[in-house]
A and B are shown apart, each in its own frame.
Chain A
């Protein structure tokens, strides 16, 4: 079975480009050009130089001794939290902004949930001198205030999405509407492996640097390129796609995708799409999504703004249905416990999103000789106020 996109833009039955005609010219322009541009030597040269000197790649693959001891297995953390701007998101925004420049676009738009993608987009726009507009749900603007401040400082305009649940789904709707209204000069930098083809494939390719590096680094440290498990959290699924990418066709590597269970899978406040979702169309892609019986998209919930999305990218829907990846989930509470555990055992404060991946370590039941690579997608700076409140450090 193939886990890569086919020539029509599908992963199995998922994917495609279910877009109104108004978006067709833009998406088609991208579809016809993205592979060619990405493969051009001068594009690669510019990309690799920026990834190295600006983002700080390769990100370390860190053996976590005390976490390993606690779970009696070998735990490695892929340190995407150490990237410039604090998450994996910048791997993608650097790639896409270089592409936008080559397509002659002057105005960049983006959606953001946790604000990490917004910050990463605002950052590359500052770097390239491009106008930047970021759509963000009103609820997220409130719970991720530090990132809103960073975007503004970087010169981006942050526009509040006030419809629906006022979170990532609605910010994405607004960004798509902006693109419809500005079809010629504008490029839409999508922040995850979602949206119409070719976005899921393109974003996965830009994030694939994560697993490309893991293979090299693991060979150095363990004498094998292949871990037993690769674990990553899934919102739209870009950090997971990047961590899985070069292992998709290595069946002995177990891929573990961790979704946000919110207050519990069946609490009515959850974002565990693989369990709660059904086949349908969201944001131009056929995939699994949370919806009512009548096909209305429902409002997800997670304490983590970056996982608070009612769909998953079509690649993940395919990995789920084909059984290639194992889907787990973690509640708000479990994620928060994992935050504190990593902080106290390893001196690393993770993002709430990434903590969902850490939270399933126990459940893996890994053996002492197993190698578990957890993609630490981001750092926790943006979540400090949530942590302070939850752990009552603000009262001490």
Chain B
């Protein structure tokens, strides 16, 4: 596991706030501002979305932000260029999240190497299956000391959760309910039972809950069952509001934390 992720979960095993945003949205060169403002407002961990034309696991909000980001000219090389000096400015753990095809075209090894070089700590590729990861890519991720973060859902069988836990080295992304991103139905009772079930499994990796976390209540509810929670669509929506980027980020994060 990367030291930054390890340190974070050691120092703050509970109540950790993680935020997702789409790189290149609302404007191409907002990446650094968003990272630094989120950190300044007390966010613990960041997922930087690499936009894809066909984001299958995402709902309308992240689809729309991805479309805008691509129109703005966001690409993987561009993102690495923007992150080149980020470690001189912040030590907040950074995780890149995206779909496999753009990473494949960039070259998986080149991608890992570059990610490590700019100081990225972990990678989430929801459509890279476990088996393919083990057979083709695990060594690369380990060589570059990148944490590979997998998703589990309420439907994931226990044996598979154990397998995922044994292959993970950062945290486990617990998808709150069977859904694409951005559904704001709240955390259903079934979800609570699932969180409970996973918590009782005493996994070696900490769990962070995501999908559907959109306000203070859902954040706090999620935090009672896991090390922390991830807010994505609700944050991306907040960036749409009138006002400057720093203002929007500050007021949104305060609405979650206070």
Pairing of A with B: yes
Nearest residue (CB) in A for B157 is A25
Contact of B54 among A8, A22, A164, A183 (CB under 8 A): A164
Task: State whether the Cβ of A169 lies closer than 8 Å to any Cβ in chain B.
Answer: yes
- Residue numbers in A under 8 Å from B129 (CB-CB): 16-19, 24
A281 to B127 CA separation, bound complex (whole angstroms): 9
A40 to B24 CA separation, bound complex (whole angstroms): 53
Task: State whether the Cβ of B246 lies closer than 8 Å to any Cβ in chain A.
Answer: no
- Give chain B nearest CB distance to A12 CB in angstroms: 15
On whether the beta carbons of B102 and A295 are closer than 8 Å, the reply is yes
The A-contacting residues of B in range 191-212, CB under 8 angstroms, are none
On whether the beta carbons of A22 and B104 are closer than 8 Å, the reply is no
On whether the beta carbons of A18 and B102 are closer than 8 Å, the reply is no
- Give chain B nearest CB distance to A192 CB in angstroms: 17
- Give chain A nearest CB distance to B66 CB in angstroms: 10
Contact of A21 among B59, B76, B152 (CB under 8 A): B152
Task: State whether the Cβ of A366 lies closer than 8 Å to any Cβ in chain B.
Answer: no
A18 to B126 CA separation, bound complex (whole angstroms): 9
For the A-B complex, the count of residue pairs with Cβ-Cβ distances under 8 Å equals 106
On whether the beta carbons of A295 and B101 are closer than 8 Å, the reply is yes
- Residue numbers in B under 8 Å from A280 (CB-CB): 101, 104-105
A180 to B177 CA separation, bound complex (whole angstroms): 10
Give per-residue flags for A152-178: 1 if the beta carbon is below 8 A from chain B beta carbons, else 0: 000000000001100001000100110
Give per-residue flags for A277-313: 1 if the beta carbon is below 8 A from chain B beta carbons, else 0: 0111111100000010111111000000000000000
Given A18-B100, A18-B127, A295-B106: A282 in contact with B54 (beta carbons within 8 A) = yes
Given A177-B59, A181-B183: A20 in contact with B106 (beta carbons within 8 A) = no
Nearest residue (CB) in A for B153 is A22
A16 to B135 CA separation, bound complex (whole angstroms): 13
On whether the beta carbons of B53 and A21 are closer than 8 Å, the reply is no
- Residue numbers in B under 8 Å from A284 (CB-CB): 56, 127
On whether the beta carbons of A20 and B54 are closer than 8 Å, the reply is no
On whether the beta carbons of A169 and B105 are closer than 8 Å, the reply is no
Candidate in A176, A280, A294 with the most chain B CB atoms within 10 angstroms: A294
Task: State whether the Cβ of B168 lies closer than 8 Å to any Cβ in chain A.
Answer: no
- Residue numbers in B under 8 Å from A16 (CB-CB): 129, 132
Contact of B76 among A163, A181, A184, A294 (CB under 8 A): A294
- Residue numbers in A under 8 Å from B59 (CB-CB): 177
Candidate in A8, A18, A173, A291 with the most chain B CB atoms within 10 angstroms: A18
Give per-residue flags for B26-44: 1 if the beta carbon is below 8 A from chain A beta carbons, else 0: 0000000000000000000
The A-contacting residues of B in range 6-64, CB under 8 angstroms, are 52-54, 56-57, 59, 63
- Give chain B nearest CB distance to A152 CB in angstroms: 25
Q: How many chain A residues touch the partner (CB < 8 A)? A: 35
- Residue numbers in B under 8 Å from A294 (CB-CB): 75-76, 102, 105-106
A336 to B80 CA separation, bound complex (whole angstroms): 48
On whether the beta carbons of A173 and B54 are closer than 8 Å, the reply is yes
Task: State whether the Cβ of B150 lies closer than 8 Å to any Cβ in chain A.
Answer: yes
Nearest residue (CB) in A for B53 is A296
Give per-residue flags for A1-29: 1 if the beta carbon is below 8 A from chain B beta carbons, else 0: 00000001000000011111110110000
Given A18-B100, A294-B76: A177 in contact with B150 (beta carbons within 8 A) = no
Task: State whether the Cβ of B3 lies closer than 8 Å to any Cβ in chain A.
Answer: no
A176 to B58 CA separation, bound complex (whole angstroms): 11
Task: State whether the Cβ of B180 lies closer than 8 Å to any Cβ in chain A.
Answer: yes
On whether the beta carbons of A21 and B128 are closer than 8 Å, the reply is no
Given A180-B178, A181-B180, A294-B102: A163 in contact with B151 (beta carbons within 8 A) = no
Given A25-B156, A281-B101, A282-B101: A20 in contact with B179 (beta carbons within 8 A) = no
On whether the beta carbons of B52 and A176 are closer than 8 Å, the reply is no
Nearest residue (CB) in A for B75 is A294
Contact of A180 among B57, B67, B102, B104 (CB under 8 A): B57
Given A18-B100, A21-B156: A177 in contact with B105 (beta carbons within 8 A) = no
On whether the beta carbons of A296 and B102 are closer than 8 Å, the reply is yes
- Residue numbers in A under 8 Å from B178 (CB-CB): 22, 180-184
On whether the beta carbons of A295 and B104 are closer than 8 Å, the reply is yes
Nearest residue (CB) in A for B154 is A183
The B-contacting residues of A in range 23-37, CB under 8 angstroms, are 24-25
- Give chain B nearest CB distance to A124 CB in angstroms: 26
- Residue numbers in A under 8 Å from B151 (CB-CB): 20-22
A16 to B130 CA separation, bound complex (whole angstroms): 12
- Residue numbers in B under 8 Å from A279 (CB-CB): 104
Task: State whether the Cβ of B175 lies closer than 8 Å to any Cβ in chain A.
Answer: yes
Candidate in A163, A281, A297 with the most chain B CB atoms within 10 angstroms: A281
Contact of A20 among B57, B63, B104, B183 (CB under 8 A): B57
The A-contacting residues of B in range 99-148, CB under 8 angstroms, are 99-106, 126-129, 131-132
On whether the beta carbons of B126 and A295 are closer than 8 Å, the reply is no
On whether the beta carbons of A169 and B54 are closer than 8 Å, the reply is yes
- Residue numbers in A under 8 Å from B131 (CB-CB): 8
12 A-B pairs within 8 Å (CB atoms) are namely A21-B153, A22-B57, A22-B153, A22-B179, A25-B156, A164-B53, A177-B57, A184-B155, A282-B54, A291-B105, A294-B105, A298-B53
With A22-B155, A25-B153, A298-B53 known, 9 other A-B pairs at CB within 8 A are: A18-B128, A21-B175, A169-B54, A182-B178, A280-B101, A280-B105, A295-B102, A295-B106, A296-B70
The 5 closest A-B pairs by CB, nearest first: A295-B105, A295-B102, A20-B126, A296-B53, A21-B151
